[in-house]
Structure 1
């Protein structure tokens, strides 16, 4: 993900780096071509489209308020239907747009701890929202922190790893429970040697490792992080 150049924009001088990053995806813009038929839609957390002749793989569905732009951006670069959705973790900026981007026949895949992560976040949402607003209310202004979009309905879960082929592309999923959540996973394309790391290295560049959050989430294990 590219970072804004403060030398080329006077408006960035008073904004912290995290504000610039989470706002990169705002407004009307194109999907970013990454090569090998892969595209990114910038957002609070990026979404990725991996195209294949048999339909496409969508990695993460963004926040609920980003779903329309994700659809518009990706439909401009691929006319294929989405066949598979994969969540790299169960936080709202990864799963929030699912209900708007899902369709009949789409397989939705997550690591087996996903329901537990979602339940934990759902139960503690009022607590998390109050604390998160202290950090993000100046930077993320188009999100209602109290709104909870429909929960994703999973069709496939796995414990340690899961492999499938879509349109000739081999796609491997690996559990990385030492990441930001216990349902964290990475997506590996072995033939292209491309890895989608999700938030394994922290939600923002520089949070390595992200062992504690301002909102009061679970303290993470440094050893599990190293193993992952």
Structure 2
């Protein structure tokens, strides 16, 4: 039996939504989102897509609203579907947290091989990828970029989707680009996540009182009501997964037992979410590890993916 995502071949409809003054969310029905921040003289892109060919779709949208050069690309974490298209933008600076860069060094190639096997459609034009994406610029806690007078704050406010997650805050519009810390009607991918800390990181997002959010996947979140709904949904998804697994792990149950428990808890609420079936086995495996005290997420390799899947098939 194949991963659910290997059979997912349908083209997704792209939307390009203004979420603040000169701020846009590039979304595609649950595929990875990108963000656009237009400054006085230049443009910052948030998330680079999986390949240069897919990145070109973002560039085409940007060119529909501005001819300013793209000067910065910010990558909220290390995952292949987010970073391998970075070369297409021709930016002077590619920015990641130190922790995210460390994860590219530690597991970037394994992640690329693994994700490509799992979800081939997301790597359209993969032959155009020049290699792993490394940042030109890193930061350890926070950094500020001025696009002319426009202030952009790039921060680590907690671990969630990965250990290296960053958010991008544009104070003049009270708008945040969260990467995969927040999703909207899309499953959270938790295979490299930190379940125990994710809720606290969502609290840290909420403390900014964002008026708009560009989430990692799903529609742009415009207005407080939609922002609050997405934060609540994301929390419910992560907690429902982990709370189902903890008692299984505590009594020495198997990975398959954990899978059954998560299906029972999550299917009724989330089975219509984008990429739900794709994420589920990886989410269960990571929750099972974390509940058994494995704090540092184990590296997914193409081989490990298949071994885990075989275990779940019984």
Same fold by TM-score, threshold 0.5 exceeded?
Answer: yes
> Whose radius of gyration is greater, 1 or 2?
2
Matched, 1:51 2:38: yes
Q: Is the 8 A contact 1:110 1:156 kept in 2?
A: yes
What whole-Å deviation, never above 9, does each CA across 1:149-194 have from its counterpart, x for those lacking one? 4233422111111122212111111114522122211111122111
CA RMSD of aligned residues (A): 3.0
Matched, 1:117 2:106: no
Rounded to whole Å, the distance in 1 between the matches of 2:60 and 2:41 is 20
Unaligned runs of 5+ residues in structure 2 are 202-314
What whole-Å deviation, never above 9, does each CA across 1:80-99 have from its counterpart, x for those lacking one? 01121111111122112111
Cross-structure match for 1:8: none
Matched, 1:35 2:23: no
- Give SS of 2:179's match: coil
Q: Which residue, 166, 184, 200 being the options, matches 1:227? A: 200
Cross-structure match for 1:199: 180
What whole-Å deviation, never above 9, does each CA across 1:64-123 have from its counterpart, x for those lacking one? 1312211111112111011211111111221121111124xx221111122232231313
Superposed, 1:88-107 pairs within 5 Å as 88-103=76-91, 106-107=92-93
Q: Which residue, 143, 146, 157 being the options, matches 1:165? A: 146
Rounded to whole Å, the distance in 2 between the matches of 1:60 and 1:142 is 15
Rounded to whole Å, the distance in 2 between the matches of 1:141 and 1:178 is 25
Number of aligned residue pairs: 191
More helix by share: 2
Q: Which runs of 4+ in 1 moved over 3 A?
A: 19-22, 124-130, 141-149, 204-208
- Give SS of 2:155's match: strand
Rounded to whole Å, the distance in 1 between the matches of 2:93 and 2:122 is 32
The change in CA–CA distance for 1:68 and 1:127 in structure 2 (over 3 A counts) is closer
Unaligned runs of 5+ residues in structure 1 are 1-15
Rounded to whole Å, the distance in 1 between the matches of 2:90 and 2:18 is 23
